[in-house]
Amino acid sequence: MATAVLLASISFFSGFFIERKWRLFLAIPVSVFQVYIPGLGEGGYMPPLALLGGLSLWPEFLKGMRLLYRWPPILMLLGVLTAYGISLFFSSDLRLGLRAIVYLWVFLAIFSAVVLQMKEDDRVAWQLLSLTVLFAVVEAGVTIAFRVSPELEAIFLDSSLAQLFVNPNILEVLYTTERNNVLDPVKSGGFFTNGNVAGAYLWIMTMASLMLAVCKRKGSMYILPVFFIVAAYFTGSKAVLLLFPALATAVLIAVSWHFSSRAIFLMKGFMMIGIVMSLGLIGPQLVTNNIIGQTEQTEQTEQTEQDDFLQQSESTLGIRLMIWRYSSEAFLENPIIGQGFGGWQQGYSGYAESVGLKEGFPPHNTLIYLWSQGGILALIFGIAFMLFITISGLQQVIKDQGQSSGIAAIMLGAFSWTFIHGMGENFGLVGELHMAPILATLLAFAYSMSNKNLDRKIS
């Protein structure tokens, strides 16, 4: 209890005495690594340094929300927060509920702080984004290295160094009943223990680095988006194979919407997408099959790889369909109030045992989890948030000019991946703890560029 009070006091008083840019540094760039400081745990939970940085932005949250709450996407998130708060009264796991509320609140706090920073001195905001991308290069490089050498990944996960960058609670159960997919030699996550989550995160960082390249107009910066998406292929996530071609094409067209040299830009962009897909598809396969340096593969090997991919995809989909079948049964029992925090874990365990599934599976669907934890109100507000983000982003792409249009397209690309991939994963509405800070930042950039006149009212 004493540790929790100390941490809360540090976060509170730092809002008075530490400059905003340093608190934003802890909340955004440091979120790449999280940084778990030994000895700061409380009740089995160890808050990362990035979370404390986000909590210290409470003055910016109070200041910004006086105007920003009127923007529909933010209003919808406040609605989800309210639904979560109500749900605490009939939840069996209050700690899980408080964690969900805190991280969603931090998303709003970071968004407010970046909007305020963009108004007062946008150079600091751009510097923070640049640092975040630079730190994420390390995550991308480590992901590739761990796919090349699964033994190196195993050494890292067993080391004390991993305790600084990966939630110690996850590491404790990683090799037991809570095994995660990075233990598979064809998966890699860098500082993540789930390759699918790592793949989604690297796409978001692809968008962040593309924003820097487009807005700073430096050709050399386009190397970073290529590096990030190639690293995403090395995670082994099937979602990367399926989503990247479509979303990359859509973002490319949207970014070039108002460019005078649109045809040349598109031609170069499509060539780049083709090169990235070739590198991403061929590189991991060469590594997986230990044939680096060989120039040929037999048709039989290629067919086997295709069959394995299809079989794994069918197995993954089959498991999710069985999980979702339970959610439909649970929905009929409590359609209005949901299950509360911890309710899914209690109800699902019996169903999992009866059908032969792993007991610890979460819903693997953003909308199902919204309903389960916050009831029908959280589900409605969550769907509305997705719709408003998409609509406002498209409007900005079509109506705005130049840089503002490009930023909106990139923001929309990041959130679209989160929303789509989240229908089969457990990111949550605004992504998991690594994703949420950079998503909030991209959203703040898009909002600020589209609302310069309105933002003058914030003092």
H-run or E-run covering 265: helix 262-288
pLDDT the model gives residue 174: 81
Closest CA to 393 of 247, 274, 266: 247
Q: Taking the domains of the chain in order of start, what are their residue ranges?
A: 2-455
Q: Interior CA angle at 370 toward 71 and 82, to 5°?
A: 50
CA distances 455 to 112, 262, 330, 409, Å, are: 11, 31, 44, 21
Question: What was the pLDDT predicted at 380?
Answer: 97
pLDDT of residue 298: 40
Predicted confidence at residue 285, as pLDDT, reads: 64
pLDDT the model gives residue 356: 75
Distances in Å between the Cα of 300 and the Cα atoms of 258, 284, 313 are 47, 18, 20
CA 278, distance to chain mean position in Å, is: 25
Q: How many CA atoms lie within 13 A of 233 on its CB side?
A: 23
Q: Select from 145, 421, 135 the least CA-distant residue to 283.
A: 145
Owner of token pair 């991946």: 417
pTM of the model: 0.89
d(CA 452, CA 459): 13
pLDDT, residue 60, reads 94
Question: What are the mean pLDDT values of the chain's consecutive 10-residue runs (459 residues total)?
Answer: 66 84 96 86 76 94 88 95 95 91 96 94 94 96 93 91 89 75 86 93 95 79 89 90 87 75 64 71 65 44 46 63 86 90 86 77 90 95 96 87 85 95 90 95 92 49
d(CA 53, CA 36): 13
Give CB contacts under 8 A, 24+ apart, made by 68-72. Answer: 68/111, 68/112, 68/115, 68/447, 71/447, 72/384, 72/388, 72/392
Residue whose entry in the numeric block shows the structure tokens 């692809």: 206
